């Protein structure tokens, strides 16, 4: 039985303009400039540069005569189809690698593997040894290690290369591979890597002792059981210090030294600049390569010509519909760009005012506790908008270029009743660790007590978390002679 009924439903839909604005807000400067140039190429109704007076209708802009396409009833879901999915639906988050420029310039040169292969040609080897050598070199990772045991390598050669060899044959070829540069390459683990480097050094009493420590007493050394080492090796503290000094000169990741020499130089383009002029902060938005945009006068003239024509054919109607769509898209895009710049500026300006003491002094301990909600309430915008501004953009300050997101931190109340940020507490913890007696480094409990004395009532668990954030190991591993 068929029935008719009336349902009232309240739903919120994002217009295409709103979606376009959100996409523009989340883009950093370089991606935004690329977006502008793509839009200029794709929409002939959009032009760059200042609009000349003859292109401007100063008397009456006649906005209503443009016959803009109505968008109030547009459902974003209807944009989806099997063969065309809007780009914003494919993004995993606010700013994903989808927006990255795919044609990235790269540094010329050879790969690390090819660099090692070229060196292997200087050795005289049989065909079987050459196959083993190529397999070993191909197994070296970017840090310079072969992270496989010899038995596993023997099995791999049999299964993948149809090459049946003994373990000692692989060891002989591995010895040759370990003679390649950079020193230490081809090590099976850290201990092996350090031993290779020490064997290649000119032998002195300190280096010989360092080699013995690495080869025979690596466990005690890695755990910094210095008293046990001195007792076992029958050496004094000065001898141990000299041996450890030689070990500290070694490279634990020999492959990284080659990778860093061929690494692409990257440069951060700041989205904002803050300068101090006459004791006051001045904020500017980076618009260095962003051209001014305006709607094409020739396309507007086409619309006027169609409106004035007496006879309107079907072909003319189809053409004018295309023109109208391009004009609307151009106007939407220009408005979105203006709104983006306005949103970015007022958001960063609120952050600058909130953290004024830091921007004037450069003292990180002046950074106040600040969360997204604080700025959102100041500028009367949604938290997600502030998040889009902060996540992927940088500000150039008198103290260096920083990610805007780094100014946001949780806070706590100190012993004097003042709000302090977690950044300030981490800075205080770092200062305490830097100034501690390295022969007797402070435990987490002692670090907690030291912070409490400075007025930061933190728990030992919090100390451990902050210590990990600043990259400081536990007390036992910070110990030095």
More confidently predicted of 469 and 155:
155
- pLDDT cut 70: percent of the chain above it: 77
The class that CATH gives domain 411-478 is mainly alpha
Q: What is the residue extent of each domain of the chain?
A: 112-260, 272-407, 411-478
* E strand map for 164-249: none
pLDDT, tens only, 258-313: 755 555 445 678 889 999 998 899 999 887 666 677 777 777 777 666 666 666 67
Given a cut of 50, whether residue 8 has pLDDT beyond it is yes
With cut-offs at 50, 70 and 90, classify the pLDDT of residue 389: confident
SS3 content of the chain, % helix, strand, coil (to 5): 55, 5, 40
Our CA angle for 388, 391, 393, nearest 5°, is: 95
Query: Containing H/E element for 328?
Result: helix 314-354
- List 104's β-bridge partners, or say none: none
Alpha carbon 29 to its chain centroid, in Å, reads: 15
Which pLDDT does position 107 carry in this prediction?
Answer: 45
- Provide CB contacts within 8 A for 83, sequence distance 6+: none
pLDDT, tens only, 145-194: 998 888 999 998 888 888 899 999 999 999 999 999 888 999 999 999 99
Give the Cα separation of 222 and 245 in Å (integer).
14
pLDDT, tens only, 22-38: 788 888 888 888 888 88
Alpha carbon 467 to its chain centroid, in Å, reads: 22
Task: Output DSSP code: residue 240.
Answer: H
Q: Exposed (0-12), middle (13-18) or buried (19+): which is 317, by Cβ within 10 Å? A: exposed
- pTM, full prediction: 0.51
């Amino acid at each position: 039985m068929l029935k008719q009924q009336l349902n009232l439903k309240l739903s919120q839909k994002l217009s295409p303009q709103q979606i376009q604005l959100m996409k523009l807000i989340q883009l950093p400067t370089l991606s935004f400039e690329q977006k502008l140039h793509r839009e200029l190429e794709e929409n002939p109704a959009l032009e760059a540069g200042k609009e000349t007076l003859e292109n401007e209708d100063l008397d009456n802009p006649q906005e209503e005569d443009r016959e803009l396409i109505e968008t109030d009833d547009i459902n974003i879901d209807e944009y989806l189809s099997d063969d065309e999915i809007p780009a914003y639906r494919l993004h995993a988050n606010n700013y994903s690698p989808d927006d990255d420029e795919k044609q990235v310039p790269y540094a010329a040169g050879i790969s690390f593997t090819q660099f090692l292969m070229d060196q292997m040609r200087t050795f005289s080897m049989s065909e079987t040894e050459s196959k083993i050598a190529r397999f070993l070199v191909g197994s070296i990772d970017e840090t310079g290690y072969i992270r496989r045991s010899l038995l596993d390598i023997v099995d791999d050669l049999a299964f993948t290369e149809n090459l049946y060899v003994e373990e000692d044959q692989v060891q002989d070829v591995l010895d040759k591979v370990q003679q390649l540069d950079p020193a230490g390459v081809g090590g099976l683990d850290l201990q092996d890597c350090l031993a290779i480097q020490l064997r290649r050094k000119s032998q002195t009493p300190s280096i010989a002792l360092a080699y013995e420590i690495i080869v025979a007493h690596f466990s005690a050394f890695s755990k910094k059981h210095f008293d046990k080492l001195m007792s076992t090796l029958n050496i004094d503290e000065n001898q141990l210090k000299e041996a450890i000094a030689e070990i500290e000169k070694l490279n634990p990741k020999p492959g990284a030294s080659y990778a860093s020499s061929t690494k692409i130089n990257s440069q951060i383009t700041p989205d904002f600049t803050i300068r101090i002029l006459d004791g006051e902060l001045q904020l500017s938005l980076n618009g260095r390569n962003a051209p001014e945009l305006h709607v094409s006068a020739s396309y507007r003239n086409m619309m006027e010509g169609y409106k004035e024509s007496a006879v309107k054919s079907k072909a003319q109607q189809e053409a004018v519909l295309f023109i109208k769509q391009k004009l609307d898209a151009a106007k939407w895009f220009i408005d979105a760009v203006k709104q983006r710049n306005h949103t970015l500026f007022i958001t960063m300006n609120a952050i600058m005012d909130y953290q004024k003491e830091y921007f004037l002094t450069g003292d990180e301990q002046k950074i106040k506790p600040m969360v997204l909600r604080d700025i959102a309430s100041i500028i009367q915008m949604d938290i997600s908008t502030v998040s889009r501004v902060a996540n992927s953009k940088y500000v150039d300050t008198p103290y260096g270029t920083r990610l805007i997101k780094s100014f946001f931190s949780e806070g706590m109340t100190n012993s004097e009743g003042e709000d302090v940020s977690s950044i300030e507490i981490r800075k205080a913890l770092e200062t305490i660790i830097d100034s501690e007696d390295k022969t007797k480094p402070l435990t987490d409990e002692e670090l907690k007590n030291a912070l409490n004395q400075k007025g930061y009532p933190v728990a030992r668990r919090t100390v451990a978390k902050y210590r990990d954030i600043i990259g400081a190991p536990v007390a036992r591993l910070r110990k030095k002679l």
